[in-house]
Chains A and B, each alone.
Chain A
Amino acid sequence: MRKAVRLVALVSVFFAAGALAQTFVWPAKWTTAKPGEAKPGGTLVDYTISDFRTMNPFITAEADSIPDLMTMNGLGLAMRDPTTGEWIPYMATSWEVSEDQTEITFKIRKGMKWSDGEPITADDWIMTYRIHMDPDVGSNLRDTFFIGDKPVTLEKIDDYTLKFVYPKPDAEAFAIASLSPWPAHVFGPVYEEKGAEGIKGMWGLNEDPKKIVTWGPFVVEAYRPGERVIFKRNPYFGEWNKDEAGNPLPYLERYQVNIYKDLNAALAAFLTGEIDVFYPRTVEHIAQIKKAIKAGKLDATLKVNASPIASSQFVVFNWNKKSNPFKEKLFRSAKFRKAMSHLINRQAVVDVVYGGLGTPMYGSVYPVLTQWINPNAPKYPYDPKKAAQLLAELGFKKKDKDGYLVDAEGNRLEFNLSTNAGNNQREQIAKIIVDEAKKVGVKINFRPIDFNTLVGQLLSKGDDRPFDAIIIGLTGGGLDWPFGSNVIPCRANLHLWNRSGTCLDPRETLMEALYYKGRTTLDFKERVKIGYRLQEVEGDLQPIVYIAGPNYHVAWNNKLAGFHPDEIISSIWGSYELPLLYQAK
């Protein structure tokens, strides 16, 4: 980590000589563009599938929101180097971690300015933090400032020094500290005067774009409801963001994001050159783009199977079924769950549901997080024979007249499976699971149910919960510690398989202990080791049976250049660094 810091610092000193600002230099290794090749000007047109809801950073809740777009997904004091995954200072120049690892002191970069020309200082972070923390504002970020039940606090040392104080050492300390600032001179007076209500009333979608202020590379120029948002270059950004040749960034003059509720419309727009970037979701999209490129109708670059996506998809069995001891015993048996894992034809799922472009999953760590994946964690791949053998060991040896397995007491091996209705892909996955299970004599009754009902069932507490098995997915695991604080601990609310409030299996207890141990270990290598161990225990317990997920693909129009090199195109790093893109044609 320190090495990277020094490198960047060196470069910045070299090029910043004579300039007022302490410069951040965007490394050339983050882009495919050759140094000095990029020219200023031009527009990038990207797209999103849901409408924007607000320009207000404190009440935004959706992905790809306007505040996120203006700040490159919420960059702040620190950012990650996509080539290494390590934290490097961004709006800070350096930091210091205290001996007991509960305090981090940041030196804020000098000479940064808001898009209205005001200087950026420690006060901006303090105000941003205060507003996020106000429960009446309802900021989505508020919960990220809590570790357990205790809040992380933020102190101003001087105008250019900030100190984060954590209740205990935390693996995600930098993720928390990378908070993106918002102008205190805009939000502060309103907050002091009218409080949370005043904040909530600011920066709605029909706010005059001239009043929107950001530190980021682009600031809102215009918004058309349900259609698009257009950003223009923030000239002050270039004062402290340069490329290695010393040119101010961003290169692009404008950045536009169109809204397409229907993916076919987005594909049409990409094929005809109206948008410059497209993220194909299906093999059909890819085939269409490929065909257009081949026919010479579209000059574009297509990266297929760039990486798996960063989310999980699994079957969870309910351990809390007091009213049905037969099923409860079954679902609590790791052997049974391993048998079920053997019954999931992941290759068929990838083939049928994702058109051959997907990745099987065997554990809670997303396959895209390669440095975290323990290759030796136990796996139970598709193997109906092994499944039948495991089920026989559980006592299911005979078949009844309908061809389903029964145990010695004549209980038929049968359970209900559901997923959220309207999710086509999950319904197809369920169909594959049901049909494969039937072949070995397991009767699964599949029924899609309403999403909200499903969530209600999943999150219900106690020792008698209303479902048997559910197919669902989770997103949002971090690079720092890819296990969910809401998932692994036995009392957590997303401990989906067992919501009795206590650990029922010794392996659950062990997983919980390992989770907390990893979370408070700051040394990365040490943490990865703990993560490996956790995955082994998890594999043996199989609390959740993972299925498969689609892959991440991206295509871009060649009139733009400066995208990531192939190694760092992924569902985590995306396909470009916005300031480094430029118009080539």
Chain B
Amino acid sequence: MAELRSETFFQSAWRQFRRHRLAMIGGGILAVLYFMAAFAGFFSPYDPNFYTFTPSFRYAPPTRIHVRDPETGRLTRPFVYRVKRELDLETFTNRYVEDKSKRYPIYFLVRTPDRPYTIFKLFKSNLRLFGLGDEATREGARIFLLGTDNFGRDLWSRMVYGAQVSLTVGILSVLLAMALGLLLGGLAGFYQGTRIGIARPILRPESWRFPASGGPLRRVLALLGHALALLLSLVFWAGLAVLLAYGYWMLRDYSGPFERVLFGVLMLLAAAWALSHALWRPLSFDPDDLVMRLVEIMAAIPFLFLLITLRAAFPMEMDPLAVFYLVVAILAIVGWGGLARTIRGMVLSLREMDYVTAAKAIGVSEFWIILRHILPATASYTIVYASLAIPGFILAESGLSFLGLGITEPYTSWGLLLKAAQDGGFASFSDRPWVLAPGFAIFLAVLTWNFVGDGLRDAFDPRRRR
């Protein structure tokens, strides 16, 4: 049989994606951003937490880079001067004055043995893209591309390092939210209508009929399993009974006479219901119901509320890195519901597809069906979802930081840097506009991720192909 040369689904998607100009530009910018974040040490002249009090560089503006020789006026190797801080007590602002006695040339691919850094926490290095060198640093000369913060730390370096957090927060949260959404949404959709037993009724003969087929080992195992299930059921019913009794007893003290009667009746009804299940009727639930109720519950709680309470529920006395993962987890918990709902809907219709029914008929295992037939069909939607959700999470991280619940020092993120700008208020606009740069970085990342998401959606959607 002669095989026709055809492009795969993803190949054609890529071809479509490349035609989306904004998406290509966005993708390019993102690639640069992520590359810089990955090799933050190389791209930053200083450590993000490097500062000195003598000399102090509190809120120093971006360093002026000179390219002309002051004497001859000709183009020369870029250099900077050392600056000196003066607090103007008249206006309460800092002024930085250049000390023109010595020039400090800017070196490219400079080594800074005084201040080594690590890449991915694995490799040590001290090679930096640009800088003044250790000698000049010791003499108090600095190069601040984007000025400094109140400690006098280099904002450019902090932003490059902050990118590590801000850019990965989005991706990690989305991955986690996707895992949750796909798993729960998929389960809900696929098993909708199947009932899963919780506890076995005690009086029903099936509960006591032990399986009697297979070899001795299997029979013993089955017996044990059965006994365990029965035991767990009993524990479940006993627990429920205790809970009901406890609730009734406690509430009795806090109720008026009429309420007491009302509660009595309610409790009796509940007890009768529980007893009927415990004795005779199997208790089961639809996984779809469970998941969808859960999604609804999450949707019912306002976003901000969920963020804050979840954050408050976790201990604060954690390693800053753990806080980072916590932020990721919180964002994911807040974000998985929408995806789960959509995936469930898709799976609901997918499982009725002919090819799935056919696979079921020839006895393919459920696991394999889900893995091979159902999930791939949702892939394109999921990818688009992810690329459009990431910017949302990046923004949410900045919101958390605004509330002081985000990443903590010594780590930094764009959100944290932007909060510093916000706290500075109007002074951030009028006296030191460079502190707004993190806002611009957030803006850029969100914008480009959206472009990429748009491109991906058009690329994966056959109806939108041009």
Contacts and interface: CB of A to CB of B under 8 A. Distances in A.
Find out whether A and B make contact in their complex, taking CB atoms under 8 A apart as touching.
yes
Interface of A: 263-264, 267-268, 271, 283-288, 290-291, 294, 304, 345, 348, 351-353, 355-357, 418, 421-422, 424, 427-428, 431, 447-450, 453
13 contacts: A264-B425, A267-B426, A268-B426, A284-B431, A290-B91, A345-B53, A348-B53, A355-B150, A356-B87, A421-B408, A427-B408, A431-B409, A447-B317
Interface of B: 53, 56, 58, 87, 90-93, 150-151, 312, 315-320, 404-405, 408-410, 422-428, 430-431
Contact of B317 (A348, A428, A450): A450
Given A428-B151, A447-B317, 16 more contacts: A264-B426, A268-B426, A283-B92, A284-B424, A284-B428, A288-B426, A290-B91, A351-B58, A352-B151, A421-B404, A427-B408, A427-B409, A428-B150, A431-B410, A448-B316, A448-B408
Nearest to B93: A287
A295 to B, nearest CB: 11
B408 A284 contact: no
Nearest to B152: A352
Contact of B58 (A268, A352, A421, A422): A352
Contact of A288 (B90, B150, B316, B430): B430
A424 B92 contact: no
A288 B425 contact: yes
Given A267-B425, A287-B91, A449-B316, A422 B405 contact: yes
A424 B419 CA distance: 11
B56 A351 contact: yes
A450 B425 contact: no
A352 B59 CA distance: 10
Nearest to B53: A348
A171 to B, nearest CB: 39
Nearest to B149: A352
Contacts of A345: 53
Contact of A453 (B90, B150, B316, B430): B316
Contacts of A304: 92
Given A284-B427, A288-B430, A345-B53, A449 B404 contact: no
B91 A424 contact: no
Closest 9 pairs between A and B when the two form their complex, measured CB to CB: A284-B427, A450-B316, A422-B404, A449-B317, A264-B425, A287-B92, A449-B316, A421-B316, A286-B92
Contacts of A290: 90-92
A339 B56 CA distance: 25
Contacts of A356: 87, 92
A284 B424 CA distance: 7
B54 to A, nearest CB: 10
A449 B315 CA distance: 7
B91 A291 contact: yes
A443 to B, nearest CB: 14
B53 A288 contact: no
Contacts of A294: 91
Contact of B423 (A351, A353, A424, A447): A424
A357 B426 CA distance: 19
Nearest to A290: B91
A448 B322 CA distance: 13
Contacts of B404: 421-422, 424
B151 to A, nearest CB: 6
Contacts of A447: 317-320
Contacts of A448: 316-317, 408
A294 B409 CA distance: 37
Contacts of A283: 92
Contacts of B423: 424
A351 B52 CA distance: 12
A291 B315 contact: no
Interface-centre pick from A263, A268, A355 (highest chain B CB count, 10 A): A355
A265 B428 CA distance: 14
A556 B56 CA distance: 33
Interface-centre pick from B53, B91, B92, B409 (highest chain A CB count, 10 A): B92
A291 B90 CA distance: 10
A191 B426 CA distance: 51
Interface-centre pick from B56, B317, B408, B410 (highest chain A CB count, 10 A): B317
Nearest to B432: A284
B82 to A, nearest CB: 20
B424 to A, nearest CB: 5
Contacts of A288: 425-427, 430
Contacts of A267: 425-426
